[in-house]
Amino acid sequence: MVSTMKLVLFSALLLFSLQTGVSVTPLRFQHPLDPLTKEEITLVQTIVHRKYPTSNNTLSFNYIGLDDPHKDTILKWESTKPTTTTLPRKAFAIAIINTQTHQILIDLQTKTVLSDNIHNGNGFPTLSGDKLAVAIDLTLKYGPFKDSIKKRGLNLSEVVCSTFTLGWFGETQSRRTVRVECFMKESTPNIWVRPITGLTIVVDLDLMKIVEYHDRAIVPVPTTDNTEYRLSHLNPPFGPKQHSLATHQPQGPGFQINGYSVR
């Protein structure tokens, strides 16, 4: 009889894990303001992908976080001095789906989407690293850019680029674009003091293409003289040393860390 019950329980857990697409982990006591766990973040992604399959949609996540409960709800919960129960948890996600910004609220207990609103106002979600990497790669492979580098007598393999937001200047409808600026890494790790100026490169992150390119003027790239800042590569004489500084707390630190709480 016991073996039969174990088999039924195992089958139920296996079926649940296959339906959710998320591995089953033991429940643990959580404070309502604890950040989302890895499993909860994975669950959010699974639920959104289930509603918007990648076979028919282009989807990228720009933010996934806890949807904080109301303060009164938390205070009431804490007043009961709970030890094993926690409040129902919700997650808030911002995702770009087919170039539209979605604000999605998800109930993590029922594994359902509570709301899914499209943001039509000003501003865009936080830039994601994968999109910025593609923008830089587009620039380095762009024919006119390679011609500009060759025209300046520079080595393309020594060029590194970074992205910068363009900002909003009151347009009724603006595009999600970034400006790409490039630097020379040759002979110095301090790339920021060796910019390749005279170029304007704008990448549209929705279209994933270069939408604006101008080579205005050839300006010499600054030399590497006096750009080294790494101590292991510097030679004396060094500047004056700072006086030593000591702190002493005979009663220990004035704060306590307990899990995610700092008092």
> Across the chain, what does the average pLDDT equal?
86
Q: What is the mean pLDDT of residues 28-55?
A: 91
Query: pLDDT tens digit string along 203-228?
Result: 999 899 999 999 999 999 999 998 98
Distance of CA 231 to the CA centre of its chain: 31
Residue 27's pLDDT is what?
A: 41
Instruction: Tell me if the pTM is above 0.85.
Output: no
Tokens of 243: 């006086």
Compute how many other C-beta atoms are within 10 angstroms of the C-beta atom of residue 40: 19
Compute how many other C-beta atoms are within 10 angstroms of the C-beta atom of residue 111: 15
Residue 123's pLDDT is what?
A: 82
Q: How far is CA 251 from CA 248, 254, 255, 257, 263, in A?
A: 9, 8, 11, 16, 16
Residue 258's pLDDT is what?
A: 85
Query: pLDDT tens digit string along 95-119?
Result: 999 989 999 999 999 999 999 999 9
N-terminal to C-terminal alpha carbon distance within the chain: 51
Query: pLDDT tens digit string along 140-164?
Result: 999 999 999 999 999 999 999 999 9
Alpha helices (H) along the chain? 2-20, 38-51, 71-79, 129-140, 143-151
**Which domains occur in the chain, in start order?**
19-119 (3.10.450.40), 129-227 (3.10.450.40)
**Nearest to residue 106, comparing CAs of 95, 116, 96?**
116
**Per-residue pLDDT for 12 more than 50?**
no
Q: Is 59 helix (H, G, I), strand (E, B) or coil?
A: strand
**From start to end of the chain, where are the E strands?**
59-66, 90-97, 100-107, 112-119, 159-165, 177-184, 199-204, 209-215, 257-258, 261-262
Residue 155: HSE in the Cβ half-sphere, 13 Å Cα cutoff:
6
Residue 61's pLDDT is what?
A: 94
Query: pLDDT tens digit string along 50-73?
Result: 999 989 999 999 999 999 999 999
> Amino acid identity of 125?
P
CB 8 within 8 A of CB 233: no
Residue 29's pLDDT is what?
A: 61
